[in-house]
Amino acid sequence: MSSLHTPRLRDATDIRQIALGWRIRVLNIVLRIGAALGLLALLGGSWADLRANGAAAMPHVVAYAAIYGLIAFAAFVHKIGFTARAILLLAFAASMSTLFLALGGLGGPGRILFIGFVVSATLFLGHRGGVAAIGVMAIIMIIIAGLIDQGLLESSTQWQANIDTRLLWASALIVQLIVVSIATASFSFLFRQMTTLAVSAVESASQAEGSSRLAEERADALEAQAICLLATEQQLRDLVHALETPAVQLADGVLLVPLVGVIDQARVDTLLCRLLKTVSEGRTHLMIIDIAGVPAVDGRVAAVLFQITEALRLLGCETVITGINPDVATTLVSLNARMDGIMTARSPQDALALNLQGA
């Protein structure tokens, strides 16, 4: 059962990690933009208040500077953690929304700012944060409506006083809750879909990378196997070359070399090297080469035999060629093959008998 739930847990963890990474990036961008705009607002507001009210405006300037200090601290000091920085930003957004709602009433921008506050809470703190932000918004709107209804907050214009009634505030609160809920749900769904797509893309890239790595490993294994096969093939070929032309000792200093199969250049080189080494090490004075097993004898084979005979003669070893049948003899004569100095015999037995007679 645990193996069945492991992939889901891993996917959920991946989604949370990707969503957290996006939230941190967005929070950093919003805080840095807020810090830049806040600096302009601090300078402009402080200058305007000092110009209008003089020294009496210093408390306002200090308050502006303190608020900006908190925003700048959250923007550039990441050690306090993501949640604390997000809550600080949301507190500032709620304060500004409350201020504009209290000053402008239903006709001001406060309600729109509260929508941004709730959506931002959903983005940074998830569903629970969005629900908590909706509750905070509803409580603040109820408090401000009560203060206006009790006359503790005065409307700045007659038009604002006409719309800031108890019935319109109740209707506005209901509409605000509906709009905020729809916006929050839509944003949550969109954000969840984006993170799911991101996880799928990461998994696809990971699978592709794994497949590529596996293909490379298989290619390396096949290459190593091919090299091993080539080495084995070469060893077998050397073994075949060593065994296909044995040198059989017929008598003291007499060796018989039966040739079987097609004679190519590679085989000629190997054969010549082996015969020269054998003659040199064994003090052979007569080499009988039987070609009865060679399927086709032409001028090239005759040249090879002549080459072997001359090389062996330089080492003091005579060569007798046996196994020449009538067809081979006819072919050699018709080709004017060079056979000067090459002794021949009908069979290895005849060559051995001639050697014994000569001795």
pTM above 0.75, yes or no: no
Whole-angstrom distance, CA of residue 192 vs CA of residue 150: 44
**Tens-digit pLDDT profile for residues 45-97:** 778 877 877 777 787 778 778 877 887 887 787 778 888 888 888 888 888 88
Nearest CA-CA partner of 260 in 230, 282, 238, 292: 292
What string of DSSP letters covers 233-256? HHHHHHHHHHHHS--EEEETTEEE
Three-class secondary structure assignment of 24-41:
HHHHHHHHHHHHHHHHHH
DSSP 148: H
CA 163 vs CA 82, 140, 171, 287: distances in Å? 40, 18, 11, 128
Average pLDDT over every residue of 90-111: 82
pLDDT of 2 above 60: no
Q: Are 323 and 347 in contact (CB under 8 A)?
A: yes
- Domains of the chain: which residue ranges? 2-210, 245-358
Q: Are 168 and 106 in contact (CB under 8 A)?
A: yes
Q: What is the pLDDT of residue 320?
A: 92
Burial of 165: CB neighbours in 10 Å, binned 0-12, 13-18, 19+: middle
What CATH architecture is 245-358?
A: 2-Layer Sandwich (3.30)
Residues whose CB is less than 8 angstroms from the CB of residue 121 and which lie 6 or more positions away in sequence, other chains included: 90, 129, 130, 132, 133
Whole-angstrom distance, CA of residue 188 vs CA of residue 127: 8
Q: Sheet of 286-293: strands edge to edge?
A: 248-251, 254-260, 286-293, 318-322, 343-345
Nearest CA-CA partner of 145 in 127, 170, 120, 122: 170
CA angle 45, 47, 52 (to 5 degrees): 95
Which tops the pLDDT comparison, 163 or 36? 36
**Tens-digit pLDDT profile for residues 9-35:** 445 555 667 667 777 887 788 878 877
